Amino acid sequence: MKRWICLWLAAAIFLGVPCAARGEGAAPAFADEIPAEYKKKGVQSGRVEKIAYPSLDYLGGGDKVTKQALVYLPNGYDPEGKYDVLVLCHGIGGTENEWGFGSPYCVGRNVVDNLIANGDIRPLIIVMPNGRACADPYNTGMDNAGAFYVFGQELRSDLLPWIDAHYATYGAETPEDPSAAREHRAMAGLSMGGMQTINIGLCECLDLFAFFGAFSAAPTTYTAAQIVRALDKFPDMPIRYFYSICGTEDSLYFAGSGAAKEITRYTERLTEENWHWQERPGGHDFNIWNLGLYNFVRVFGAWDAGE
């Protein structure tokens, strides 16, 4: 991981990238630890599917490519129902498999299973894509890092429309107007995926998502001032919640804190009602990221969209 951190910093310089019906505006108390019983494999487990969808090489010449992703479906998934969607992103050295949902013993998967089974949140769909929008998304080298920054094009044009066309999402009802389902979509991610959540989700795709969770965001994450300027492109799109977490011993602490810790000083669109910064003793690892997922999903999955 230290090797990746050094490579991130070099890339930043090279690239020059500066409960089930809770009332609107409310959030649960944020936990400092995941309860032990939520980490255990639940008796009502969802299932994970691998999908393949058509996309383009957005980093290169625009050639057609086939991308893969994992999709978590909650226990009792009903193809005739309607489900919220969380797009959950990986880090710089990872792929769609990094969160580990393919294993029935994955802590993140167990957390979601148990939150749903206990009625803490509504059942939801989780999409785990490969965040490199290019011809070779499994090239994890720094020579391919630019593919992370153009992922927004794939997200908007290819991935979300495919998910809405093949699963029981709120967006399936309004394919001609993707923004109509934004209250039922969230984006979150660890490290480089946290950067994508902020730079792409919050700053480029606020018309598609209303909830954002950044866990140990990477060094090329926009600063608070840059984020606020980007939000001006979406004056009529409310941010329902922006949650961010980082370990205090994380050598990339400056990136996450620079983006989120003081952002309420720069804009009236983020207040104590729809924003939370959390820091805990810890490093750049899954102890922080799983806690971030637990806390963030409890916000998104319990939100009352009034429908």
Which tens digit of pLDDT belongs to each residue from 160-192?
A: 999 999 999 999 999 999 999 999 999 999 999
What is the model's pTM? 0.92
Q: Which of 88, 219, 205 is nearest to 157 (CA)?
A: 205
Position 73 in a domain: yes
What is the domain-level CATH number for residue 235?
3.40.50.1820
Which tens digit of pLDDT belongs to each residue from 82-112?
A: 999 999 999 999 999 999 999 988 999 999 9
- Pair 228, 195: CB distance under 8 Å: no
Identify the domain containing residue 107 by its residue range: 2-300
Position 204 in a domain: yes
- How far apart are the C-alpha atoms of 207 and 234, rounded to whole Å? 7
Phi, psi of 10 (to 5 degrees): -65, -40
Provide the number of structural domains found in the chain: 1
Cα–Cα distances in angstroms (integers) from residue 243 to residues 18, 211, 251, in the given order: 21, 8, 20
Reported confidence tier of residue 26, pLDDT bands at 50, 70, 90: low
Position 307 in a domain: no
Strand pairing category for 124-129 and 64-73: antiparallel
Position 112 in a domain: yes
